[in-house]
Amino acid sequence: MKKILTLLTAVFILFMAKANAMTFEEAYAQSTTKPMLMLVYADWADNAPSYVQAFNALQAEFGETYNFVDLNIASPDTKAFNARYHIYPNLPYILMFRDGGKVSRYIPRNCILDESCLIPKLKSFVL
């Protein structure tokens, strides 16, 4: 029963993330006026729901400052994106884009769930 409840919670979180998600192309096009954060994950990766939930919490807190995009690289429609942007296998992580993609940063997974690591990186990226 606990496994079923955990699975249903994970599916709900992933569904909610997709419901308000902006496409990469939309957010990238707007990254000249509003920086973009992109969570790159795979639904089969360990603790994927925890990272998606943390990313959604960031969106609730910083939605006025950043555009948010989540990318499940396990999805078949991401093959072209993966080839173009050379998605790394150490999932999950956050990519940050600013100034039309001219400025970007990478935030590793060990920082995503640690607010004392993540929040200063987010704030310094906007400056």
Report pLDDT for 71: 85
Neighbours of 89 (CB within 10 A): 7
pTM exceeding 0.85:
no
Enclosing domain of residue 82: 2-126
CB 98 within 8 A of CB 104: yes
Report pLDDT for 14: 42
4-29 pLDDT, tens digit each? 444 444 444 444 444 445 566 776 77
**CATH of residue 71:** 3.40.30.10
Number of domains in the chain: 1
Residue with tokens 């050379």, as numbered in its chain: 86
Give the residues of the chain that fall short of pLDDT 50: 3-20
Please give the Cα distance from 46 to 48 (Å, whole number).
6
Mean pLDDT, the chain, whole residue set: 77
Please give the Cα distance from 52 to 57 (Å, whole number).
9
Please give the Cα distance from 59 to 65 (Å, whole number).
9
The beta strands (E) that lie in 1-127 are given as 36-41, 67-72, 93-98, 103-107
Report pLDDT for 55: 93
